[in-house]
Each structure stands twice: as structure tokens, then as C-alpha cells.
Structure 1
């Protein structure tokens, strides 16, 4: 059978793109090696419209979040199961300077869709340490990532559309009609490999830095599960008195092994949010594909039009991927191009440097 697309990788980005293509009627084959420590499976699936210590609206939040809401609602209807948990996010001020930064930013307007309340003093919740107050953010929540990937994987397997194996680059052939992988043919192949793109001979020139993130699952009593909390780390309720606490960012030692340093850092930061006793149940680590300019990497290879990449969303894949998958599906189908900010063509100089280096080595 000849497919329209082969998608390599079935983490968040690959799963959302392959589902989007299948919903449009395309024949899609997914190649993915199941890895329980993949970044997508370790992630808490957080969607947060407000970014970082500067208290700025996340890039393109006004476009990304409605698209994400619609996509996850469609998936929930498709599978008959809740997959996205809508919860307000209480972003706690660490200092009076942070409070002042927010008050200055909020004066500019444009926040009404996302801010439910601003607290300039403590909310006096008995288990929360918030002496400077914080902001209550709406339109956020968390995706049940493992549940979503499990359901989509089972569907692909049932339809014979998944090869559960590591992609073998030496089995890929580029043809006049597209690509051939082992015995499977397709018109186009999309790499959604996450950080492993740094080993991809066609796209290793892209400026991806593997970045390790560690997450704790903790058990604690009498801690309010009605919110997600954010103060240096996120705290996401997952039921029965359990919470995910994360994440660290480590580009110095990007492996998938939980570290004593990561455990200590996360436990210390959680203790800055609450004085409640807690017990660590799990400690996991994964590797994200971080990009130099913090924008995704989407587009067709500059030399081989049969190949493209959909990658580089890092910790924002839950928020970005639904919108970008729709846009990329339009582009692959011959519609409008993807937006300039995410095109891999912005790094063409790196590609030419890479080719020059390869030729020099030959």
C-alpha cells in the first residue's frame, strides 16, 4: 500500500500531526519506538497562557489556545473520554518586584480573556505560601498526555497504521514519487523525533539543544487540588492527593536518568509553595528539543522536497501543536505556507555551513 505520509515519531507533536492528517482523509503510516521515558510521556501536559518571570502573555496565545481547546474537545468526543482538564492556574508572586512587574504589564490591557483575578496580598489559603499574592489565570489546564497517546496508539495499531519500532535511517530511500521505507511507500515523510533530530542526517543542522527535564510525583494531604500552582515550578493535581511537580531545565547533562540534584531542586521548590508534608512517589526524566530562538521548527527540507520536519516545541507542545499541525497540514496539501516565525528556512545559513563542512570532510 502507498501512503500519503509517513510520520516518524509519536510524541505530542507527531501524534497531533498524524491525527490531523488522518482527519483530513490522508493515508498516514506512523513509525515510532515506544519509550516510557520520552519527554511527552514524562510531561505534565501543562497549558499556561502566561509565560515566565516577566509575566508576559505566551507567544500567540490568542491563536494557539482556541485551537488547542477545539482540538482536545474533538479528541474527547472521538474517544468518549476526558483528556484535557481545565483548571485555573495560580501564579504566585515570589517577590514584591514580581508583583510590580505584573501590575505594570497588566496596565497595557489585552489580558481580559486570561486573568480571573489579581491578588496583591496573600489569599490566606492554609496550605499555600503566597505572602505577596499572585494572579489567577484562566483558559489553562493540563492534558492527560499518556492517556491521549495510549488511545491514539491503540487506534493506529487497530487500523494497521503503526510500525512500533525505531526508525532505521539506512532503510529510507528517496524516490521520484516520494519516499520508500522498507516495503512501505509514501509521497512524503515528516520527522517528529523530538531531541533525536540532532542525529538525523537530513536535519541535524537545525539548532536544537537537547534539554533534560525532571518531574516528581508527590503525595500530600489537605492541599487544594482545584488549581494548578506556579512558583518557580508547576504543581499539577492528578487525583487522590497526588501532584506532579516540575520541571527542571538541564542542557549540561541531557540524559533520561533522574538525578539526585533534580530531586532535591524540585522538592525544595515545592516546599516554597507549601509547608505541607509530602512524600515522593515517582521521579522521572525526559529530554526536550529546545531551539535557539524558542520558536518551533516546521518546514520542508531545502534540498529534498519529500522530507520535512515538525519539531522544536519544547515544553509548549500542548499549547502550540494543534494550531501548528493545522497550518502545516494546509501547507503540505498545497495551501498557504506556514508562518515565517517557525519556518526552518530562517536557519538556511546553518544548512549551507553544514553542507560546506560535509564537503570539506570528504
Structure 2
């Protein structure tokens, strides 16, 4: 049997690309080894169209956000499961000066569709520090990433080949019209291969020239009694209602220590910042860390190898895979039929770094 694609990796990027390819009738063989602390599995799954320190409009938010929401709603319908939780984000102001800044920003047509309201005053709360008001962000919420990926894995195993082992580059052979991967007792043949390995892409001999800028992110699970759960709270960190009686707090960004071990420094940072939002006492029940496959120019990486055109990559979404991957997977698959890749995501922008392989 000849597969259309071998996909390596089934985190957010790989899982969504596999799903999108499958919907178009392509036959897949997918390599994946479950890892509880992968960046995808650790992530809170936040969709926030206005992000960053300045809460500017996220790249292509006007395309990415509605496409992603529709994608997850379709998954819910198909699998009869709740994974998408739409919730407004309340970004709390720290001062009157910040109020004034946002009053001016809110009139910008580029972000108006994502601003539900600017609250110069909010009612007194026994739970939340909201003395200076907040901007209320629309078209936001979170995806239960673990439940989502588990659904995709079940469907994948039913209709495609799921190989639960590490991919070894020494077993891959390239030919003009197809590729082969030799297992101990079997040879897999496919027309193309796409790597969706997350941060492990830095060890990929075909794409090691791409300028990844890995960073470590840590999140907390906390318990808080009687904290209202009808929105996501944000001030330096988010406090996000998750499950029936818990909240997630995150996230840190650490470019210095690229490892997957939870740190005391992140625990201190997250608890202190959560304490700036919450008036109530909370208890930390879990701490997790993952490595994000971010890129130096903060744009994703997708496209085809400049020499070996049967080898592709779909990666580099950093902390925004939940929001970016559905639309970009659609664009990637459309490229197979001749559509252009989003230019700011196309790996051809980094050809100056390619020295040949």
C-alpha cells in the first residue's frame, strides 16, 4: 500500500493537519508517541485575538479566530463532546493612564470586532482586584486540548495507520516520486512526508536551518472556592476556569532554560501574579512545563524543503497553536492543489539560511 503522507508528530499542529488531510481523502501513516508534558498537552488552549504585552491584534486574527472556532465546533458536533468553551477575557487595567490608553485604542477599526466593551469601572468584587476597570475581549475562550487530541487519536487509529514509536531518520529513504520508511518487519511507502515535531524540529536534519527560538512555558492548576467562572481574568497572567472546580494560571516564557522540568522560579512568578488578580486564597494542585516551538520572527513555519520537495514541515506556532493551526492546516492542504501558502508563514522566507542537504 502506498500512503499519501507520512506525518511525524500528533500534537496540535500534527493532529489538526492530519484531520484536515483526512477530510480531503488523503491516506495517512502517522508517527506519534504520547507525552503528557508536550507543549500541546500542557497548554491551556487559550484563544485570544488581542495578545502580548500591549494586547495588540494577533497576526491574522480576523482569519484565524473565526476559522478556529468553527473548526472546534464541528469537532464537538461530530464526536458529541464539549471541547470549546467561549468566554470573554477581562484584561484589567492597572491605572487611570492605562484606561485612557485603551479608550484611544478601542476606536481602532482593526481591533474593534474583538472588543466587546471598555469598562472604566467595574462593580466591587470580593474575589477579584478590578479597581481600575477592564477591557472585555470578544471571540475568545479556550479549547480542552487533551480531550480534543484524544478524540483525534481515536478517529485516526480507526481509519489510518497510527505508529506509536519514535521516528528514526536513518530509516528514511528518498526516491524521485516516493519515500520509504523501513521498520523492523515492514516498509512504509508514501508520496510525501510532513514533520510536525514541535520543538524536536531542531534535531531534524532537513530543517535544522530554520531559526527556531524555543522557550519554556509553565502553567499551574489551582483550586479557589466560590470564584466566578463566567470569564477569563488577565493581568500579566491569565486565570482561566477549567473543568468543574478548578482554574489554570499561566503562562511563563523562559528562553534561558530549555528543559521540561517545573521550576521554583515559575511557581513563585505565577503565584505572585495570580495573587495580583485574586483576592481569595488559592491552592496550587499541579505545575507543568513544556517547550514551545517558537520562531525568531514569531510566525509559523510551513512549506516544502527547497531541494527535497516531497518533504514538508508544519510547525513553529509557539503559544498560539490552538488559534493558528486550523486555518493554516487548511491553507497547507490547499497548497497541494496549487494555492499559495500564507507568505509570512512560508519557510521560503528563510532560504538565506539554507546551505544545502
Fold equivalence (TM over 0.5): yes
Aligned to 1:51: 51
The one of 189, 194, 198 equivalent to 1:185 is: 189
Q: Counterpart of 2:252 in 1: which secondary structure? A: coil
Q: Which shifted more, 304-313 or 130-139?
A: 130-139
Query: Is structure 2 residue 311 aligned with structure 1 residue 310?
Result: no
Query: Is structure 2 residue 141 aligned with structure 1 residue 141?
Result: yes
Query: Is structure 2 residue 163 aligned with structure 1 residue 163?
Result: yes
CA contact (8 A) 1:50 1:56 kept: yes
Describe the shift of the 1:90–1:2 C-alpha distance in structure 2 as closer, same or farther (beyond 3 A). Answer: same
Tell me the distance in 1 between the aligned counterparts of 2:127 and 2:117. Answer: 19
Query: Is structure 2 residue 26 aligned with structure 1 residue 26?
Result: yes
5 Å matches for 1:230-245?
230-245=234-249
Aligned to 1:335: 338
Describe the shift of the 1:181–1:98 C-alpha distance in structure 2 as closer, same or farther (beyond 3 A). Answer: farther
The one of 289, 298, 311 equivalent to 2:293 is: 289
Describe the shift of the 1:120–1:263 C-alpha distance in structure 2 as closer, same or farther (beyond 3 A). Answer: same
Q: Which shifted more, 155-164 or 245-254?
A: 155-164
Aligned to 1:273: 277
Q: Counterpart of 1:283 in 2: which secondary structure? A: strand
Tell me the distance in 1 between the aligned counterparts of 2:168 and 2:95. Answer: 51
- Over residues 68-92 of structure 1, what are the superposed CA-to-partner deviations in whole Å (9 max), with x where a residue is unaligned? 0111111111111111111111111
Aligned to 1:223: 227
Query: Is structure 2 residue 129 aligned with structure 1 residue 129?
Result: yes
- Over residues 99-146 of structure 1, what are the superposed CA-to-partner deviations in whole Å (9 max), with x where a residue is unaligned? 233222112224442222111134422211122211111111100100
Q: Counterpart of 1:207 in 2: which secondary structure? A: coil
Tell me the distance in 1 between the aligned counterparts of 2:63 and 2:353. Answer: 30
CA contact (8 A) 2:106 2:112 kept: no
Tell me the distance in 1 between the aligned counterparts of 2:349 and 2:102. Answer: 33
Tell me the distance in 1 between the aligned counterparts of 2:322 and 2:86. Answer: 13
Q: Which shifted more, 13-22 or 28-37?
A: 28-37
Q: Counterpart of 1:113 in 2: which secondary structure? A: helix
The one of 347, 350, 353 equivalent to 1:350 is: 353
Shift of 1:30: 0.9
CA contact (8 A) 1:298 1:310 kept: yes
CA contact (8 A) 2:27 2:160 kept: no
Aligned to 1:5: 5
Tell me the distance in 2 between the aligned counterparts of 1:239 and 1:198. Answer: 34
Q: Counterpart of 1:224 in 2: which secondary structure? A: coil
What is the root-mean-square deviation of aligned Cα atoms in Å? Answer: 1.3
- How many equivalent residue pairs? 353
Tell me the distance in 2 between the aligned counterparts of 1:201 and 1:55. Answer: 36
Unaligned runs of 5+ in 2: none
CA contact (8 A) 1:49 1:58 kept: yes
Aligned to 1:260: 264
Q: Counterpart of 1:217 in 2: which secondary structure? A: strand
CA contact (8 A) 1:44 1:143 kept: yes
Unaligned runs of 5+ in 1: none
Q: Return the TM-score normalized by structure 1.
A: 0.95
Aligned to 1:206: 210
Tell me the distance in 2 between the aligned counterparts of 1:210 and 1:56. Answer: 22
CA contact (8 A) 2:126 2:279 kept: no
CA contact (8 A) 1:53 1:98 kept: no
5 Å matches for 1:94-113?
94-113=94-113
Shift of 1:296: 0.5
